[in-house]
């Protein structure tokens, strides 16, 4: 172990090299702060649903249809529990928005989850009041909703109405945290739901999500095959038109949160929370790279300084210090620097954590996440990093012989052998980060600025909720048309970038299967959206519009009618293709049919004047809510809706840009310090060159040349890395930059 004399010389060396010490502490502090914040976030994300008692036996039922399906008819679970003893218990879930009469008499639109009593057997959610075994005999509410309505008292026995039906509160459950199921204010029994809304029990109505808990030691693969065979036998017609429906998958509950979900499934099961596992992996990798940057800086600077610390080290050896003692003095010095950096990093992370949580769109507290286990882990990382960062310079400096000081060979070795590879590595990572960030930003700009085939500017879109509004939308349309700034109002069912529930699957005359997405709207739909007409047929004024893709796939570019055994429609004309989904999905077959008076609209599109849009939006919201008698308006500008489709990509771009900036700052400060030391090492050489007529520009070029060569090498290596990484990332987009 190091003696007091060794530590004294180490401390003196640090005082003499304050600039280097500052760079090392700054680099380690910033990188450790990011590692701490990202580490706490990633730990939180990977711990989702880990608290359930039987988590290894809980599964969500899915199928492979169009990626996967989550919804099944009501009766399926009952059949499975009766036929397959491997299923110990299970629960169905169905969520919908309903009118709830609050204790103060006000009506509110809230999410209501219908489920089975076994929900609380499958999942380990904690009750604040009441008991899980009897809670769903009536109604369960969550803690936040209970406090907002009744305060913090025990509210079991209090009453709430759902669409006129009186419920007694039989339990209060703590808000769902750290689960893929988002907090739900109200839960009722599935039996009540099917009695209230009989369509939910129909054999063909795929509306219920299913979770099962298996008995111990169940062969999951065999159970999946059994359930798949059941689906194939029970739903022969559905399987014919929905390939993949018969393939049942059981996804572990702990994997659901970090599973990519299709937007249409999330629109049906709005309680599902999820995150992108690729995004989390990128965060971890970049955080580790930034920490590695700081370690490389320390390693490079320590090795570069070794020549200048040779005299003090030689004195220590001549005064009797052993090689091992000198070695460990450098290790202790390194650990000390990392310890100070760790203290600063924790303080910086505490200050920046609210901003970081905002960037990640999550709610976390630094104090709440920093447990003693995490503190111990941070201390361990600091200790390990201190030993690793100090090992190489300690080995180099403690291993030299005093005679090397006078001959100069030690300095030559340190400057020519060590550091160049590490410096090049820093450049490679920095250039790769910048390149990937640039490509992602370019793809985002491409998606935002590309011609979508329609014009989203100055369009407000919102749902038409017939549960609170008249079945006939004429009254609302007339009211909105009288608002100053409103140019046109279009009732419709479906519009670009909203998930369609109306898709028809059919076979053409050649028995080729087609899936056509159906929009319903009145005659002003095309003009308000700015859809371009390719061909019009004046003979069928009440016919359907189809897009280019549908006309080509069905072979009816010149037809006025399309008819098969399963579908029959008149053709009004053909519109040019437009993007009705995001850029990850190819343009499919589309039909725009006249809006039927019987069905009524599901959505409203309002075209407004570009001047004073905010005031017009406010008036539309007030008119809608006044007519509904409840705060129900969910409108937004279509441009904002389009931007929200790419929020994950934007978040990734912002994070990579930030971390790239941090990487550049850390590596640049390290390069500055390295250039200073290299200049000091070559001071005598430069002086001789100037004596023999070298110009300042020539000397500067000579000094910069070695670094520029490393940059050139790093650039050559980085370009193919960027290309491969971004090709893989861009492969997820059907329409992308080239």
pLDDT digits (tens, 9 = 90+) for 217-242: 899 999 999 998 888 888 765 555 45
* 515: helix, strand or coil: strand
pLDDT in tens, 680-690: 666 667 676 66
Distance CA 589, CA 568 (A): 15
Question: What is the rounded average pLDDT of the residues 256-263?
Answer: 74
Distance CA 627, CA 110 (A): 18
Question: What is the rounded average pLDDT of the residues 237-251?
Answer: 67
Asked if the model's pLDDT at residue 476 lies above 50, the reply is: yes
Confidence of residue 6 (pLDDT cuts 50, 70, 90): low
| Cβ neighbours of 254 (radius 10 Å) | 17
Confidence of residue 277 (pLDDT cuts 50, 70, 90): confident
pLDDT at 621: 93
pLDDT at 223: 92
Higher pLDDT, 199 or 716: 716
Confidence of residue 211 (pLDDT cuts 50, 70, 90): very high
Asked if the model's pLDDT at residue 84 lies above 80, the reply is: yes
pLDDT at 491: 92
pLDDT at 656: 74
Question: What is the rounded average pLDDT of the residues 77-92?
Answer: 92
Confidence of residue 82 (pLDDT cuts 50, 70, 90): very high
pLDDT at 316: 60
Which run of H or E residues covers position 127? strand 127-129
pLDDT at 411: 52
pLDDT at 458: 92
Token pair of 414 as six digits = 């340190």
pLDDT at 443: 85
pLDDT at 187: 92
Lowest mean pLDDT among 124-138, 258-272, 518-532: 258-272
Higher pLDDT, 303 or 38: 38
pLDDT at 412: 46
Q: Is 642 exposed, middle or buried (0-12, 13-18, 19+ CB in 10 A)?
A: middle
* 496: helix, strand or coil: coil
Please say whether the beta carbons of 543 and 537 come within 8 A.
yes
Q: Is 648 exposed, middle or buried (0-12, 13-18, 19+ CB in 10 A)?
A: middle
pLDDT at 511: 78
pLDDT at 737: 83
Confidence of residue 83 (pLDDT cuts 50, 70, 90): very high
Asked if the model's pLDDT at residue 244 lies above 70, the reply is: no
pLDDT at 305: 60
Asked if the model's pLDDT at residue 702 lies above 70, the reply is: no
Distance CA 251, CA 220 (A): 10
Asked if the model's pLDDT at residue 500 lies above 90, the reply is: no
Rg for the chain (alpha carbons), in Å? 33
Asked if the model's pLDDT at residue 208 lies above 60, the reply is: yes
pLDDT at 682: 66
Confidence of residue 131 (pLDDT cuts 50, 70, 90): confident
pLDDT at 123: 93
pLDDT at 9: 53
pLDDT at 680: 64
pLDDT at 387: 79
Distance CA 313, CA 351 (A): 40
The model carries a pTM of: 0.76
Which run of H or E residues covers position 521? strand 513-521
Asked if the model's pLDDT at residue 636 lies above 50, the reply is: yes
Asked if the model's pLDDT at residue 55 lies above 50, the reply is: yes
- Percent residues over pLDDT 70 in the chain: 81
Top mean pLDDT of 56-70, 179-193, 698-712 is at 179-193
pLDDT at 321: 60
pLDDT at 417: 52
| Cβ neighbours of 19 (radius 10 Å) | 12
Top mean pLDDT of 132-136, 222-226, 505-509 is at 222-226
Please say whether the beta carbons of 173 and 142 come within 8 A.
yes
pLDDT at 110: 86
* 321: helix, strand or coil: coil
- Percent residues over pLDDT 90 in the chain: 19
Question: What is the rounded average pLDDT of the residues 204-210?
Answer: 84
pLDDT at 365: 83
Confidence of residue 67 (pLDDT cuts 50, 70, 90): very low
Helices vs. strands in the chain: H and E counts, helices first = 27, 22
* 162: helix, strand or coil: strand
Confidence of residue 186 (pLDDT cuts 50, 70, 90): very high
Give residues with Cβ within 8 angstroms of 476, minimum separation 6. 464, 469, 470, 604, 623, 624, 627
């Amino acid at each position: 172990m190091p003696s007091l004399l060794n530590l004294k010389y180490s401390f003196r060396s640090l005082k003499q090299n304050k600039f280097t010490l500052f760079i090392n502490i700054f680099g380690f502090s910033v990188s450790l702060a990011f590692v701490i914040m990202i580490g706490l976030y990633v730990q939180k994300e990977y711990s989702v649903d880990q608290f359930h008692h039987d988590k290894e036996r809980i599964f969500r039922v899915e199928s492979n249809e169009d990626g996967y399906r989550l919804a099944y008819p009501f009766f399926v679970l009952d059949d499975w529990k009766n036929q397959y003893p491997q299923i110990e218990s299970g629960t169905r879930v169905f969520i919908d928005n309903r009118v709830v009469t609050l204790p103060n008499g006000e009506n509110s639109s809230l999410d209501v989850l219908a489920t089975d009593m076994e929900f609380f057997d499958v999942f380990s959610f904690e009750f604040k009041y009441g008991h899980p075994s009897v809670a769903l005999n009536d109604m369960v509410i969550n803690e936040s909703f209970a406090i907002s309505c009744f305060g913090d008292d025990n509210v079991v026995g209090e009453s709430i109405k759902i669409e006129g039906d009186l419920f007694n509160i039989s339990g209060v459950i703590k808000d769902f945290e750290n689960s893929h199921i988002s907090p739900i204010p109200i839960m009722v029994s599935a039996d009540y739901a099917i009695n209230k809304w009989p369509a939910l029990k129909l054999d063909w109505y795929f509306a219920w999500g299913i979770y099962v808990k298996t008995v111990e030691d169940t062969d999951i693969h065999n159970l999946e095959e059994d359930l798949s065979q059941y689906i194939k036998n029970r739903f022969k017609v559905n399987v014919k038109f929905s390939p993949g429906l018969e393939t049942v998958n059981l996804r572990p509950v702990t994997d659901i949160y970090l599973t990519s979900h299709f937007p249409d499934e999330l629109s049906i099961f709005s309680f599902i929370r999820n995150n992108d596992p690729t995004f989390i992996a990128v965060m971890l990798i970049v955080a580790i790279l930034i920490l590695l940057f700081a370690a490389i800086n320390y390693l490079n600077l320590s090795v570069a300084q070794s020549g200048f610390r040779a005299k003090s080290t030689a004195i220590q050896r001549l005064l009797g210090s052993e090689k091992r003692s000198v070695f460990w003095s450098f290790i202790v010095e390194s650990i000390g620097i990392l310890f100070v950096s760790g203290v600063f990093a924790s303080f910086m992370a505490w200050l920046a954590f609210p901003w970081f949580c905002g960037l990640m769109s999550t709610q976390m507290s630094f104090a709440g996440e920093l447990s003693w286990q995490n503190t111990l882990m941070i201390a361990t990382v600091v200790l390990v990093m201190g030993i690793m960062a100090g090992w190489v310079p300690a080995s180099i400096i403690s291993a030299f012989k005093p005679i090397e000081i006078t001959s100069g060979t030690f300095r030559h070795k340190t400057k020519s052998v060590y550091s160049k590879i590490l410096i090049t590595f820093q450049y490679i990572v920095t250039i790769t980060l910048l390149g990937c960030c640039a490509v992602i930003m370019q793809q985002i700009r491409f998606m935002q600025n590309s011609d979508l085939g329609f014009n989203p500017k100055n369009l407000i879109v919102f749902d038409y909720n017939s549960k609170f509004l008249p079945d006939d939308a004429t009254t609302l349309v007339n009211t909105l048309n009288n608002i100053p700034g409103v140019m046109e109002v279009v009732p419709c069912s479906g519009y670009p970038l909203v998930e369609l529930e109306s898709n028809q699957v059919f076979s053409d005359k050649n028995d080729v299967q087609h899936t056509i997405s159906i929009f319903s709207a009145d005659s002003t739909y095309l003009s308000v959206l700015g859809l371009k007409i390719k061909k019009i047929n004046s003979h069928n004024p009440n016919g359907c519009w189809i897009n280019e893709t549908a006309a080509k796939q069905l072979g009816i570019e010149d037809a006025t009618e399309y008819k098969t055994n399963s579908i029959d429609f008149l053709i009004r004309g053909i519109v040019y293709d437009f993007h009705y989904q995001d850029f990850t999905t190819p343009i499919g077959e589309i039909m725009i049919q006249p809006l039927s008076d019987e069905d009524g609209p599901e959505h409203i599109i309002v075209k407004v004047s570009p001047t004073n849009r905010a005031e017009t939006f406010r008036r539309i919201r007030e008119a809608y809510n006044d007519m509904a008698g409840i705060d129900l308006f969910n409108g937004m500008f279509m441009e904002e809706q389009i931007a929200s489709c790419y929020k994950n990509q934007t978040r990734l771009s912002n994070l990579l840009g930030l971390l790239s900036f941090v990487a550049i700052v850390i590596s640049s400060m390290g390069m500055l310090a390295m250039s200073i030391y290299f200049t000091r090492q070559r001071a005598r050489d430069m002086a001789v060159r100037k004596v023999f007529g070298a110009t300042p520009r020539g000397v500067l070029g000579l000094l910069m040349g070695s670094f520029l060569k490393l940059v050139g090498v790093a650039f050559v290596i980085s370009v193919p890395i960027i290309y491969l990484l971004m090709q893989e990332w861009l492969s997820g987009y059907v329409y992308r930059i080239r």
